[in-house]
Structure 1
Amino acid sequence: MMQEIIKKTALPLMVLFVILAGWQLVANNVEEFPTPHSTWVAAFGGINADGDEIEGVLSDPFYVENEDDKGIAWQITNSLGRVFGGFALAILVGIPVGLLIGMSKNFMMALNPYIQILKPVSPLAWLPLLLMVFQDINLTAISTIFITSIWPIIINTALGVRSVNQDYLNVAKVLQFTPFETIRKIILPVAVPYIFTGMRLSLGIAWLVIVAAEMLTGGIGIGFWIWDEYNNLNYPNIIIGIIIVGVVGYILDVIMGKIADFFDYRKRA
């Protein structure tokens, strides 16, 4: 047990050391590329390479200078609000559509070609049209997330429905279950793990999309903040933004994984 804990601690630290060494090597050979130390100072404050004391991005993440100048915490909060808005819409639409496709071959034949055509379309391709339709940054970002994150929910829900044992469905017919009762008592208990797997994938895509969407639409959000730091030539802040995006994405995935495990009857048995 203790040996396992040591491995789980030591191995990631070894990888971190390699990453930092490689990072420093790149910084030594690429002009103006931020070093690990300059990025740390930019994040938490301290003395920079010029001998000036600066306040880090994470020193006061909740500051509000004006409507367009807010701390990094507000940038993340705004991005998460858009992500959860689009993600919620994807759940509300994706699960019923997935159930219909899984239960009906006619629905599957009718909708599957369009799912396969629209699924690989880049979120950036939707932005100009959606911005023209809504003429609002938030609605454009939310609708972009909805369109690009709905497909894993639909596909995994349909897969979950098709994985239901036919004998269970035959029992439902013998007991004269209504379609709603069949879904609630037979299909959903089996399909729920698949649905949550789709939701987990969908949330990861939503967080990935919001960064690209905000870079183009502007406003308050982590994506626009990274782009704005690039325009201001604050390269250490770009790395800070990348790390923050990765950490938040990891946290969201862990949370969704825990929720999925809770509703997965196979892991509670």
Structure 2
Amino acid sequence: MVSAVFHSPLDAVADERAAARTATPAAKEAPAVPAPKVSVPKATTARAPFDWRGLALKVLPPIIGLALLIGIWALLTIKSTSFPTPAMTFDAAVKLFADPFYRKGPNDQGIGWNILSSLQRVGIGFGLAALVGIPMGFMLGRFEFLNRMVSPLVSLLRPVSPLAWLPIGLLVFKSANPAAIWTIFICSIWPMIINTAVGVQRVPSDYLNVAKVLNLSEWKVITRILFPAVLPYMLTGVRLSVGTAWLVIVAAEMLTGGVGIGFWVWDEWNNLNVQHIIIAIFVIGIVGLALEQLLMAVAKRFSFDG
């Protein structure tokens, strides 16, 4: 007689729990596999290759132009006995700049002192012109009635040669130095007046309408609205003025005498020293170029174009 074995539902549940207990520890004891480490390379900044072509385009053309000038000069003076050659002028320049700041008397000084004296006169006359011309330009551009009243006078006096004002300065100041400064002043003031006035007139009317809505004072309109907008025009006038001033001072000093690069050129002509005159021409050009480049750098520094 075969006896049948009976399993109740509770026994089935117990068997499943027992199987789970025997299987779970094995799963828990399995070691965790660590995730592979991925090495990320550090970012490296690659250097851009040096732009030799751009450098050559900036440097070579001026050098070639200067060499061409010296070459033509040398060809024209090969057989000349009155006009110095480039080699003779270079030797004279080496001796001249070996001691540019010597003093042997009130009218016998090195070329360095003459350049500084001319720059001092230009600085004083140009500074006075800026103090008068820039505010006047703001007023002419801001007030239409004043513009209509003064513009004919500016148009009448601006074309007059600066040297025509020199006798007036000698008559009024009774001295050569202030007369030369007066000449610088009168020739420097017109570009600053005109460019500043044009800059004020070209300010968009919307800016001024906003100022009226906000009820801003005239001082705030000038400092907060007009000045930033007019600054590029004003700096252009300043650059033109200083170039004109440096041109005029040479001619004014030739007529007034004293210490200065213009008087030095005239004195060397009286001594028939043509080599020093040519050196002075190059020096005047280099100083004028340096002044222009300096003002262009200032204009870029304060430009609002971004």
Check whether TM > 0.5.
Answer: yes
Corresponding residue number in structure 2 for 1:96: 135
1:193 deviates by 1.1
Instruction: Say which one has the larger Rg.
Output: 2
Cα deviation, residue 29, structure 1 = 5.5
- Post-superposition offset of 1:28: 3.1
* Corresponding residue number in structure 2 for 1:184: 223
1:213-228 correspondence to structure 2 within 5 Å: 213-228=252-267
Tell me how far apart the structure 1 counterparts of residues 244 and 233 of structure 2 sit (CA, whole Å): 17
- 1:69 aligned counterpart, secondary structure: coil
Q: Does 1:122 pair with 2:172?
A: no
Q: Which residue of 2 aligns with 1:28?
A: 78
1:194 is aligned, of 216, 219, 233, to 233
Q: For residues 59-208 of structure 1, what are the structure 2 equivalents within 5 Å?
A: 59-208=98-247
* Cα distance in structure 1, aligned partners of 2:145 and 2:75: 58
Please identify runs of 4+ aligned residues in structure 1 that moved more than 6 A: none
2:91 to 35, 41, 44: 41
Q: Is 1:10 matched up with 2:49?
A: no
Q: Which amino acid aligns with 1:75?
A: N
Helix, strand or coil at the partner of 1:265: coil
Asked if 2 retains the 8 angstrom alpha-carbon contact of 1:164 and 1:190, the reply is yes
Q: Which amino acid letter does the alignment assign opposite residue 206 of structure 2?
A: D
Which range is displaced more, 135-144 or 9-18? Answer: 9-18
User: 2:133 & 2:142 partners in 1: Cα distance?
Assistant: 14
- Separation in 2 of the partners of 1:244 and 1:84? 18
- Structure 2 residues not aligned, in runs of 5+: 1-50
CA distance in 2, matches of 1:157, 1:73: 35
Q: CA deviation at 1:7?
A: 2.1
Deviates more, 1:211-220 or 1:118-127: 118-127
Q: Matched residue pairs, number?
A: 256
Cα contact 1:98–1:155 (8 A) shared by 2: yes
Q: Normalising by the residue count of structure 2, what TM-score does the alignment of the two structures yield?
A: 0.82
> Is the CA contact 1:214–1:221 (under 8 Å) kept in the aligned structure 2?
yes
Give the aligned residue type for 1:112. Answer: S
Other-structure match for 1:246: 285
Distance in 2 separating the partners of 1:63 and 1:186 = 51
* CA deviation vs aligned residue, 1:138-159 (integer Å, no higher than 9, x gap): 1011110000110110011001
Q: Report the Cα distance in structure 1 between the residues aligned to 2:71 and 2:296, rounded to whole angstroms.
A: 32
Distance 2:162 2:77 in 1: 32
Alignment match, 1:48 = none
Q: CA–CA distance in 2 between the matches of 1:96 and 1:7?
A: 42
| Structure 1 residues 59-88: Cα deviation after superposition (integer angstroms, max 9, x where no partner) | 100111112111111000000000000000
Deviations 1:2-37 (A, max 9, x none): 111112222222111210111112323554111101
Structure with bigger helix share is 1
Task: Check 1:103–1:29 CA distance in 2 against 1; reply closer, same or farther (3 A cut).
Answer: farther
What is the match of residue 263 of structure 1?
A: 302
**Runs of 5+ unmatched residues, structure 1:** 45-55
Residue 26 of structure 1 contacts residue 33 of structure 1 at CA under 8 Å; is this kept in 2?
A: no
Deviations 1:173-209 (A, max 9, x none): 0111111111011100100111111101101111011
| Residue equivalent to 1:47 | none
Q: Read off the aligned partner of 1:32 and give its amino acid letter.
A: S
Which residue identity does 2:280 align to in structure 1? G
Determine what percentage of the aligned residue pairs are the same residue: 49
CA RMSD, 1 decimal: 1.0
Residue identity matched to 1:109: R
TM-score, structure 1 length as denominator? 0.93
3-state SS, counterpart of residue 83 of structure 2: coil
